[in-house]
């Protein structure tokens, strides 16, 4: 039998958090300490703070002007000016000056006539006019802050104004992260990984998230997959940490020692939480400190930090758990989800028309880029079977709602030039963030139909008419008025290993089923192009080896060729060039941007179109290779073909 762990019962996230909180004694774990007030930003008071001095500490002039004794000014009337003698019955003061003895009001400089040695006024001053009285802002001994208060920039100002220079706060929570795994390379060595090796990065994601909670963070060097080494590392880390996190090894594999180690050193509380990604999260305690087994997959690790560690750290720190801003988002795609587990679905989100639209990103827990590409995520509840197309869901945002206004939502075919557009659009005074979801040309048309994108990149060849895109628009988007603008003419062909070792010459090379092919997903213009050429050559798809293997981007196809996972695939020249592969040309095609007319005046679309008309983009696209730009930025009409 294999030496495998058995999961404890998987429990809901809030139960896991409550279990850990119930098992820790906060009062003895987190000590108070005294620190300088000016270094106390974002720290949390451990006791109430009372003012030492009043502010102001004296009656002070609130305006520039002249201090007076108010009852000497009562005769002044409009048309009956009263003269006051400088430095006798009136004394010049600037804002903030102490009121001279006996004076109880200030007359603004704007309301006097200066006669040299005297001033005239035409209105009386009432007592305490334009005077900041002692204690107006703060009275000595009053409570300024209660305990467990997170100190803001403004609080610092109030504390210093009240003459408080030291403050009692909870010590910072200290976290030590122990990366584990034989396959892990320390990033600090700046390695280039070989097959079977992985660059350690979760420690730095945790560090960044921890810093956001004002946690003092330390990461050890990676520990190899040996129980004794892990136990020793944890024991050492416990000495000066409130929380010790073991990275990876928290699942139920034969080398997953986390839960066993925690049980040996202390008490195992939780093994497995009912959320995907994030399930293999382990919690325990030892020496009244928190032990955590964090999953190895980056997205699972992030969920472990945000859903489990963040509320525990907040509680330990005396802070409220931070919550993300939420918006309602209309979903571009039906998203089934397995019942019984909460699922966290990352989404590309942007403002489209009056509301927000979202496109679900890939679900793999190993894909950190689904977090970097997402603007937020939605939670599919455990009891749900998923989200329907066009259903409105609550999305928790990574940034403020207003950032969604600057997002230019694209759904459609993948092309490397989109990255160029995205880069240049971020360079302006009002940066625009191009968020591009690769769903193929047909997916782009579907997105326009359901109104979840501001434009779609499409390259669909119609063999009957010999035209591009328009026949498909007429068929699939008859009710949407659109403008079609060309991005580029691009060269499609077979991406082959460098030097073309199998001597692939064209579609004929696939006829005998010996060459393995990597295909694009259904609905991709490139797949439609491939099918057209197969049909012309009278080759049955079932005879093409690997016809059923699908990738979503040209770059992914090229990566398969690079690593020998396939002998060839159909794609654009730019992708072959990027990975230094061979390229056997098959066809030229028009890659157009389809823009609903109702968005033609949207400021993001206007910026896009201005960029497309510029020489800058033509030059940049040409430099990629494999593109022609005679039509770039021009409005296309039916029947134009390749111009």
User: Quick one: 181 or 353, whose CB is closer to a second copy?
Assistant: 181
Residues 55-84 that bind a second copy (CB under 8 A): 55-60, 62, 64
136 binds a second copy (CB under 8 A): yes
95 binds a second copy (CB under 8 A): yes
Q: How far is the CB of 483 from a second copy (least distance, A)?
A: 25
154 binds a second copy (CB under 8 A): yes
Residues 256-315 that bind a second copy (CB under 8 A): 256, 296-298, 302, 315
Distance (Å, whole) CA 126 – CA 528:
86
Alpha carbon of 53 to those of 37, 58, 134, 198: distances in Å?
A: 15, 11, 10, 58
| 319: its two tokens | 């802070």
What SS3 state is found at 445? Answer: helix
Site string for a second copy, 549-578 (x = CB under 8 A): x---x-xx-xxx-xx-x------------x
Residues 520-549 that bind a second copy (CB under 8 A): 549
222 binds a second copy (CB under 8 A): no
Phi, then psi, of 531 in degrees rounded to 5: -60, -40
User: Quick one: 403 or 622, whose CB is closer to a second copy?
Assistant: 403
User: Quick one: 181 or 386, whose CB is closer to a second copy?
Assistant: 181
CB atoms within 10 A of CB 115: 13
132 binds a second copy (CB under 8 A): yes
23 binds a second copy (CB under 8 A): no
Residues 163-182 that bind a second copy (CB under 8 A): 163, 165, 181
User: Quick one: 199 or 606, whose CB is closer to a second copy?
Assistant: 199
One residue of 8, 21, 382, 502 binding a second copy per CB under 8 A: 21
Q: Report the chain's terminal Cα–Cα distance, integer Å.
A: 68
Only one residue has tokens 């730019």, namely: 574
Distance (Å, whole) CA 413 – CA 479:
21
* Residues found in the chain: 643
92 binds a second copy (CB under 8 A): yes
- Sheet with strand 118-121: strands edge to edge: 82-85, 118-121, 113-114
Residues 455-484 that bind a second copy (CB under 8 A): none
User: Quick one: 71 or 597, whose CB is closer to a second copy?
Assistant: 71
User: Quick one: 48 or 537, whose CB is closer to a second copy?
Assistant: 48
Candidates 137-145, 376-384, 498-506, 590-598; binding stretch for a second copy (CB under 8 A): 137-145
| 271: its two tokens | 């093994």
Nearest-5° Cα angle at 545, 544 to 550: 95
Candidates 201-209, 259-267, 599-607, 635-643; binding stretch for a second copy (CB under 8 A): 201-209
The candidate with the shortest Cα–Cα distance to 414, out of 555, 588, 546, is: 555
Residues 355-414 that bind a second copy (CB under 8 A): 364, 366-369, 371-372, 398, 400-403, 406
Distance (Å, whole) CA 159 – CA 151:
10
Q: How far is the CB of 122 from a second copy (least distance, A)?
A: 19
157 binds a second copy (CB under 8 A): yes
32 binds a second copy (CB under 8 A): no
CB atoms within 10 A of CB 214: 16
User: Quick one: 11 or 134, whose CB is closer to a second copy?
Assistant: 134
What SS3 state is found at 503? Answer: coil
Q: In the Cβ-directed half-sphere of 239, how many Cα atoms lie within 13 Å?
A: 6
Cβ neighbours of residue 155 closer than 8 Å, sequence gap 6 or more: 144, 145, 149
| 73: its two tokens | 């000014």
User: Quick one: 79 or 196, whose CB is closer to a second copy?
Assistant: 196
User: Quick one: 372 or 601, whose CB is closer to a second copy?
Assistant: 372
Contact status, residue 424 vs residue 616, Cβ threshold 8 Å: yes
Residues 223-252 that bind a second copy (CB under 8 A): 248, 251-252
User: Quick one: 149 or 590, whose CB is closer to a second copy?
Assistant: 149
218 binds a second copy (CB under 8 A): no
| 586: its two tokens | 């098959």
Cβ neighbours of residue 529 closer than 8 Å, sequence gap 6 or more: 461, 492, 570, 586, 587, 589
190 binds a second copy (CB under 8 A): yes
């Amino acid at each position: 039998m294999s030496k495998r762990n058995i999961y404890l019962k998987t429990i809901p996230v809030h139960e896991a958090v409550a279990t850990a909180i119930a098992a820790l004694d906060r009062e003895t774990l987190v000590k108070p300490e005294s620190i300088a007030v000016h270094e106390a930003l974002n720290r949390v008071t451990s006791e109430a703070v009372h003012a030492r001095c009043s502010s102001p500490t004296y009656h002070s002039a609130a305006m520039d002007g002249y201090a007076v004794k108010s009852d000497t000014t009562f005769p002044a009337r409009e048309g009956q000016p009263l003269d006051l003698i400088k430095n006798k019955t009136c004394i010049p003061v600037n804002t903030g000056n102490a009121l001279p003895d006996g004076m109880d009001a200030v007359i603004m400089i704007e309301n006097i006539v200066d006669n040299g040695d005297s001033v005239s006024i035409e209105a009386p001053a009432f007592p305490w006019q334009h005077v900041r009285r002692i204690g107006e802002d703060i009275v000595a001994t009053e409570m300024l802050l209660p305990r467990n208060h997170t100190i803001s920039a403004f609080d610092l100002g109030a504390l210093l104004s009240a003459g408080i220079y030291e403050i009692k706060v909870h010590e910072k929570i200290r976290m030590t992260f122990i990366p584990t795994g034989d396959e892990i390379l320390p990033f600090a060595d700046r390695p280039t990984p070989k097959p079977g090796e992985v660059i350690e990065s979760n420690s730095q994601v945790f560090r960044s998230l921890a810093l956001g909670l004002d946690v003092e963070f330390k990461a050890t060097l990676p520990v190899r997959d040996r129980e004794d080494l892990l136990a020793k590392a944890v024991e050492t880390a416990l000495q000066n940490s409130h929380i010790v996190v073991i990275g990876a090894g928290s699942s139920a594999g034969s080398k997953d020692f986390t839960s066993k180690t925690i049980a040996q050193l202390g008490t195992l509380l939780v093994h497995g939480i009912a959320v995907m990604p994030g399930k293999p999260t382990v919690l325990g305690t030892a020496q009244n400190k928190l032990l955590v087994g964090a999953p190895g997959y980056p997205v699972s690790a992030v969920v472990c930090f945000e859903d489990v560690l963040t509320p525990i750290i907040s509680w330990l720190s005396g802070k409220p758990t931070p919550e993300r801003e939420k918006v309602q988002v209309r979903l571009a795609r039906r998203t089934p989800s397995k019942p019984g587990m909460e699922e966290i679905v990352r989404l590309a989100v942007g403002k489209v028309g009056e509301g927000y639209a979202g496109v679900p990103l890939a679900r793999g827990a190993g894909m950190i880029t689904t977090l970097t590409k997402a603007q937020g995520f939605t939670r599919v509840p455990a009891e749900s079977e998923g989200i329907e197309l066009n259903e409105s869901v609550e999305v928790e945002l990574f940034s403020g709602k207003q950032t969604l206004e600057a997002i230019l939502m694209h759904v459609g075919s993948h092309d490397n030039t989109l990255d160029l557009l995205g880069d240049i659009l971020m360079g302006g005074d009002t940066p625009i963030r191009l968020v591009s979801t690769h769903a193929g040309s047909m997916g782009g048309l579907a997105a326009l139909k359901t109104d979840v994108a501001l434009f779609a990149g499409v390259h669909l060849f119609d063999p009957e008419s010999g035209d591009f895109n328009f026949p498909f628009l007429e068929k699939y988007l008859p009710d949407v008025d659109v403008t079609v603008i060309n991005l580029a003419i691009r060269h499609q062909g077979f991406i082959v290993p460098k030097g073309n070792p199998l001597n692939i010459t064209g579609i004929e090379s696939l006829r005998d089923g010996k060459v393995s092919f990597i295909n694009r997903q259904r609905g991709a213009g490139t797949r439609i192009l491939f099918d057209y050429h197969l049909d012309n050559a009278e080759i049955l798809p079932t005879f093409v080896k690997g016809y059923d293997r699908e990738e979503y981007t040209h770059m992914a196809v090229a990566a398969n060729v690079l690593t020998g996972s396939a002998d060839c695939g159909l794609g654009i020249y730019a992708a072959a060039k990027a990975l230094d592969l061979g390229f056997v040309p098959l066809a030229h095609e028009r890659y157009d941007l389809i823009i609903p007319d109702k968005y033609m005046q949207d400021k993001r679309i206007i910026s896009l179109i201005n960029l497309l008309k510029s020489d800058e983009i033509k030059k940049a696209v040409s430099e990629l290779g494999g593109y022609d730009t005679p039509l770039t930025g021009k409005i296309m009409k039916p029947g134009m073909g390749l111009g």
